[in-house]
Amino acid sequence: MAGNPFLVDRSGAGRATVLLAHGAGAAMDTPFMTAIAAGLAERGLRVARFEFAYMAARRSGGPKRPPPKAEKLQAEFLAAVDRLACDGPLIIGGKSMGGRVASLIADELFSAGRICGLVCLGYPFHPPGKPERLRTGHLEALNTPTLICQGTRDPFGTQEEVQGYALSAAVRLHWLEDGNHDLQPRKTVTGFGQEHNLDTACAAVSGWVKGLE
């Protein structure tokens, strides 16, 4: 992570900071990530976004390779936590894969007093079409206060599926009506678009973070 590896919204001493990583196939400055960062910043939170090395390499003409396995990205997320200047409470998380990687390191950081929470935006509970391949083992014993904002029809874990999982009591779920993996609803079904669900998610995250401070 050469130079300044972070995109920061709403700097300010003592503010709670939310450190977010991107999903598997899209960078930290996608419309989704930008809207989430702006929505959280509007509510008084400091938001820092960063990219894993494989995604950053694409900006300099590198090959469009698939991401490494989530377990192999843990060291990069920990390095981002180490590098981020933060003088207030810190919450880590991200979109899809980024949130999953954060969830794998959360308890280590929480037990050390380095973070106070975890936020996942569209958690990939299982690969689409493969509900038997669950990625929930570590979530069953998680100690870190966690908020997962999930679309009710997310192919990586629908509301009906997730309600049957044995998740830790530390995990709170906030459901976005008719949302897919990008939290986008069908306007013909709900009467509203993605911006409504993203704003609702930001309001949920902001209120939840205030409860942690």
**What are the pLDDT digits (tens) for 34-90?**
999 999 999 999 999 999 999 988 887 767 778 898 878 999 999 999 999 898 999
For helices 97-111 and 74-83, angle between their N-to-C axes, nearest 10 degrees = 60
- 144 touches 114 (CB < 8 A): no
Average pLDDT of 86-97? 95
Give the model's pLDDT for residue 1: 41
Radius of gyration of the chain (CA): 16
Whether 4 has a pLDDT exceeding 70, the answer reads no
Its pTM surpasses 0.85? yes
Backbone phi, then psi, for 169, in 5-degree steps? -65, -15
Give the model's pLDDT for residue 2: 45
Give the model's pLDDT for residue 70: 80
Give the model's pLDDT for residue 205: 98
Average pLDDT of 88-110? 97
The mean predicted confidence, pLDDT, of the chain is 94
